[in-house]
């Protein structure tokens, strides 16, 4: 039996530990730094490092590392032990304030999108004191931001922290307009629902495509998929349950609020969700959760797949980003209040989100772009590539009435007007019904459903924070000048809602009619990564990121470059894996099968001249027809890869990978999958879909 409160956060150097272990003045200074994002001075850092080392060593740590989040989307760490020589045969455990606060690493092998000249490869990491240090693998991990010698950010954390500052500042300006003089900070908060697959590890090891690419590149549909809906919320199988229990335990030790677990729609698919928390912490925690999921799965003889589409024809995995903004006094800014003034304030924040999403559909689409997520968005299992907002009927009706300029009534017949009367609270079940919407209001938060399961949450939230900060800033600029606040507020809300109402959509986002309707409304529809990414550096985006000091133009360009490169590399690796598997495993398997059939015919003929070989003939005819196609498709893919490799321009190359290489892969796959259904099981070199999806008991 585990004692949850006792183990919870036992591996975290959290506020309680600091309070207990740091001298009072040090603790107070550190708290101040943490609250106001100020720089830590050296003496304080030394005192904190000392306490941290003692605590970590007591917990069995031997090493420390700056734990950072390069633009690969994963996390990175370089371990240093605490040892320092003390005489000839002795060591002591040392850790200084300098080592805590900043580190230096060779950054040359991390993607920088051209930011880092090769002669200056150094990268610097700096402690993010708003995220607690923790122990993992006997190593004290210090969450850090990572930047280049010249100060440009090389990671995902830095822009996220900057975006938090932006939304904090702009939201507080709005609160002041409503007479709130007490709120000091506003922060965005996130709860991430993480989907994943668990399959048997032996089968995983027998699939090089899963090992190299994270997804299956071949695989005929199994006779049974998810059509019976018998997996969703179904009974959790014992092996999976044991995995989930151990995962919870390890996450709790790291102070991660693991809360909900269940089976998802597809066979072998599951979900885990923590309780929401401050966005940078939620992002760190999600990275740790993904890492722990993989490690703990392996301990249970399982492999955890985080790819957006491990199996074609079966639902893929996403990561729902539940996002809201709240004050340091516990106020929820996206929740209707109890007084007219609170409701007017709620409507203004809501309008800011609507404006932000409408004006920056491109950025939200970009924030969820990747080769993996391209398989998912728009596939009638996840939101389409078109961004829109779902508000639910009740709220929609209220907004409609505001736009019409009428005094309105809600369903309980309460008279309403902005800033005058009472808004109903929205019970979750009236707002949470539309599962097809990419961005759905669910009572006190928005659920952004487009991010892929393997994504870092940093980029989607950096973008959400920045675009909403930008809308709030426009509103504050206007209203701060107003001489009649209530009248001008009413006018502004009405005007902005009318201007941006095209982004509101309550219907079925999977339908064909919506695509046509969205086009009529002039909404963007970037169907894949290479269509979306070039817009990252559109003038409006450069301006906004610079204005709020979230990303400089150079940083933005570098990020675009990294993402395009990563797209091209992903497709290249997939193509090369495919070619390799076809040549080295699939072709020999098919030849073996054909050869056995031929031998079988020969034996029959030896037995009797008149023996019928009708079945053998039919099988041979089918396989040889398919192998002919296979040769052709394989050559086409090889040729396409050669051409792709010759391209030097990043964008041109990404487009070519999408249009030529990826299409060639799709055609080759179709042929291989057909062969899989023809060739007898014992010859087929890889575990089948049915085996992978249904074998875990």
For tokens 């459903």, the residue is 449
Between the alpha carbon of residue 532 and those of residues 362, 365, 550, 564, 649, the distances in Å are 7, 7, 20, 10, 17
Size of the site for ligand ADP (CB under 6 A): 16
The smaller minimum CB distance to ligand ADP, of residues 440 and 626, is found at 440
In angstroms, rounded to a whole number, what is the distance separating the alpha carbons of residues 255 and 248? 10
Find the shortest distance in angstroms from Cβ 527 to ligand ADP: 26
x-marked contacts with ligand ADP along 407-446 as a string, rule CB under 6 A = -------------------------x---------x-xx-
Q: Which is nearer to Mg ion, 364 or 581 (CB)?
A: 364
* Beta carbon of residue 168, minimum distance to Mg ion (angstroms, whole number): 26
Q: Between β-strands 186-200 and 277-278, what pairing exists: parallel, antiparallel or unpaired? A: antiparallel
Please report how close the Cβ of residue 321 comes to ligand ADP at its closest, in angstroms: 9
Q: Three-state SS string across 235-276, please?
A: CCCHHHHHHHHHHHHHHHHCCCCEEEEEECCCCCEEEEEECC
CA distance 310 to 326: 36
Which of Mg ion, ligand ADP, none sits in contact with 191, Cβ below 5 to 8 A by type? ligand ADP
What's the DSSP call for residue 510?
T
Q: Which token pair is 584?
A: 């080295």
Residue from 111, 123, 159, 191 in contact with ligand ADP (CB under 6 A): 191
190 binds ligand ADP (CB under 6 A): yes
Q: What angle do CA 540, 545, 547 make, to 5 degrees?
A: 90
Q: Cα(312)–Cα(609) distance, rounded to whole angstroms?
A: 46
Which partner from the list ligand ADP, Mg ion, none does 214 bind, CB cut-off 5 to 8 Å by kind? none
117 binds, among ligand ADP, Mg ion, none (CB under 5 to 8 A by kind): none
Residue 615 interacting partner from Mg ion, ligand ADP, none (CB closer than 5 to 8 Å by kind): none
Q: What part of residues 329-368 is at the interface with ligand ADP (CB under 6 A)?
A: 332
Nearest to 360 by CA among 283, 436, 448, 286: 448
Q: Which stretch binds ligand ADP (CB under 6 A): 169-177, 204-212, 270-278, 649-657?
A: 270-278
Nearest residue (CB) to Mg ion, 319 versus 320: 320
Does residue 261 touch ligand ADP according to CB under 6 A? Answer: no
Cβ nearer to ligand ADP, comparing 99 with 193: 193
Q: Report how far apart, in Å, the C-alpha atoms of 407 and of each of 316, 341, 371, 403, 418 are.
A: 45, 16, 48, 10, 9
- CA–CA distance, 276 with 293 (Å, rounded to integer): 19
Nearest residue to Mg ion by CB is 320
Distance in Å, CB of 114 to Mg ion, minimum: 38
Are 123 and 84 in contact by the 8 Å Cβ rule? The answer is no
Q: Looking at beta carbons only, is 435 or 604 nearer to Mg ion?
A: 435
What is d(CA 161, CA 156) in angstroms, rounded to the nearest whole number?
9
* 134, 146, 276, 526: which one binds ligand ADP (CB under 6 A): 276
Cβ proximity to ligand ADP, 432 vs 638, nearer residue: 432
| Per-position x/- string for 379-398, each x denoting binding to ligand ADP as judged by CB under 6 A, each - no binding | --------------------
Count of beta carbons in the 10 Å neighbourhood of residue 440:
26
Q: At its nearest, how many Å lie between ligand ADP and the CB of residue 70?
A: 26
Q: Report the distance separating Cα 563 and Cα 554, nearest Å.
A: 14
Chosen residue from 160, 273, 395, 472 binding ligand ADP by CB under 6 A:
273
Within positions 282 to 341, which residues make up the interface with Mg ion, using CB under 5 A? Answer: 320
* Residue 324 touches ligand ADP, criterion: CB under 6 A: yes
Bridging pattern class, strands 439-441 and 389-390? parallel
What six digits make up the tokens of 25?
A: 């003045």
Cβ atoms of residues 274 and 191 within 8 Å: yes
* Pick 189 or 490: Cβ nearer ligand ADP: 189
Burial class (CB in 10 A: 0-12, 13-18, 19+), 613: middle
CA–CA separation, 151 and 117 (whole Å): 13
Q: Which stretch binds ligand ADP (CB under 6 A): 138-146, 269-277, 383-391, 680-688?
A: 269-277
The end-to-end CA distance of the chain, in Å, is 24
273 binds, among ligand ADP, Mg ion, none (CB under 5 to 8 A by kind): ligand ADP
Candidate ranges 185-193, 217-225, 469-477, 558-566; the one touching ligand ADP (CB under 6 A): 185-193
The span from the CA of 227 to the CA of 247, in Å, is 29
| Interface residue list for ligand ADP (CB under 6 A) | 189-191, 193, 273-276, 322, 324, 332, 432, 442, 444-445, 447
Q: Which residues bind Mg ion (CB under 5 A)?
A: 320
């Amino acid at each position: 039996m585990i004692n949850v409160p006792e183990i919870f956060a036992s591996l975290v150097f959290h506020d309680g530990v600091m309070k207990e272990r740091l001298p009072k003045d040090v603790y107070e200074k550190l708290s101040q730094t943490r609250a106001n994002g100020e720089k830590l001075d050296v003496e304080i850092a030394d005192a904190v490092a000392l306490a941290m080392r003692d605590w970590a060593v007591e917990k069995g740590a031997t090493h420390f590392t700056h734990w950072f989040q390069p633009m690969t989307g994963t996390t990175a760490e370089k371990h240093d032990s605490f040892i320092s020589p003390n005489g000839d045969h002795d060591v002591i455990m040392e850790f200084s304030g300098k080592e805590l606060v900043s580190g230096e690493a060779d950054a040359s092998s991390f993607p920088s999108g051209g930011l880092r000249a090769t002669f200056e490869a150094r990268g610097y990491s700096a402690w993010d004191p708003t995220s607690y240090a923790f122990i993992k693998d006997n190593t004290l991990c210090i969450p850090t931001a990572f930047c280049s010698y010249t100060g440009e950010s090389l990671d995902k954390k830095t822009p996220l922290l900057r975006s938090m500052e932006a939304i904090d500042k702009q939201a507080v300006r709005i609160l002041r307009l409503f007479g709130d003089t007490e709120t000091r900070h506003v922060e965005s908060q996130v709860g991430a629902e993480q989907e994943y697959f668990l399959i048997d590890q032996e089968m995983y090891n027998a699939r090089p495509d899963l090992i190299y690419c994270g997804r299956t590149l071949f695989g005929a549909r199994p006779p049974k998929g998810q059509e019976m809906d018998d997996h969703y919320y179904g009974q959790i199988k014992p092996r999976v349950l044991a995995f989930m229990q151990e995962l919870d335990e390890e996450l709790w030790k790291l102070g991660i609020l693991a809360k909900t677990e269940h089976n998802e729609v597809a066979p072998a698919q599951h979900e885990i969700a923590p309780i929401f928390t401050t966005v940078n912490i939620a992002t760190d925690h999600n990275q740790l959760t993904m890492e722990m999921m993989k490690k703990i799965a392996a301990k249970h003889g399982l492999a955890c797949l985080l790819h957006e589409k491990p199996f074609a024809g079966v639902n893929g995995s996403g990561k729902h980003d539940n996002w809201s903004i709240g004050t340091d006094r516990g106020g929820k800014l996206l929740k209707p209040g109890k007084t007219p003034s609170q409701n007017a304030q709620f409507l203004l924040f809501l309008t800011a989100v609507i404006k932000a999403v409408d004006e920056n559909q491109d950025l939200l689409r970009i924030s969820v772009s990747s080769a993996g997520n391209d398989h998912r968005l728009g596939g009638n299992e996840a939101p389409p590539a078109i961004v829109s907002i779902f508000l639910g009927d009740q709220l929609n009706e209220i907004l409609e009435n505001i736009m019409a300029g009428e005094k309105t009534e809600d369903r309980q017949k309460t008279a309403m007007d902005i800033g005058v009367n009472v808004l109903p609270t929205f019970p979750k079940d009236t707002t949470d019904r539309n599962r097809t919407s990419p961005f759905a209001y669910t009572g006190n938060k928005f659920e952004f459903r487009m991010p892929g399961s393997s994504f870092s949450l940093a980029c989607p939230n950096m973008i959400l924070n920045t675009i909403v900060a930008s809308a709030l800033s426009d509103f504050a600029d206007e209203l701060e000048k107003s001489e009649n606040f209530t009248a001008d507020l009413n006018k502004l809300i009405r005007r902005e809602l009318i201007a941006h109402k095209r982004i509101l959509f309550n219907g079925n986002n999977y339908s064909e009619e919506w695509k046509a309707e969205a086009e009529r409304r002039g909404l963007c529809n970037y169907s894949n990564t290479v269509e979306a990414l070039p817009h990252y550096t559109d003038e409006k985006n450069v301006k906004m990121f610079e204005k709020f000091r979230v990303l400089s133009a150079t940083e933005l360009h570098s990020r675009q470059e990294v993402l395009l490169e990563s797209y091209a590399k992903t497709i290249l690796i997939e193509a090369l894996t495919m070619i390799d598997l076809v040549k080295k495993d699939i072709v020999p398997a098919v030849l073996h099968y054909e050869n056995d059939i031929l031998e079988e015919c020969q034996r029959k003929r030896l037995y009797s001249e008149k023996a019928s070989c009708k079945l053998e003939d039919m099988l041979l005819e089918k396989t040889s027809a398919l192998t002919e196609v296979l040769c052709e498709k394989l050559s086409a893919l090889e040729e396409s890869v050669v051409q792709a490799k010759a391209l030097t321009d990043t964008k041109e190359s990404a487009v070519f990978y999408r249009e030529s290489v990826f299409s060639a892969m799709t055609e080759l796959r179709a042929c291989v999958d057909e062969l899989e259904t023809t060739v007898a099981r014992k010859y087929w070199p890889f575990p089948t879909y049915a085996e992978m999806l249904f074998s875990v008991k």
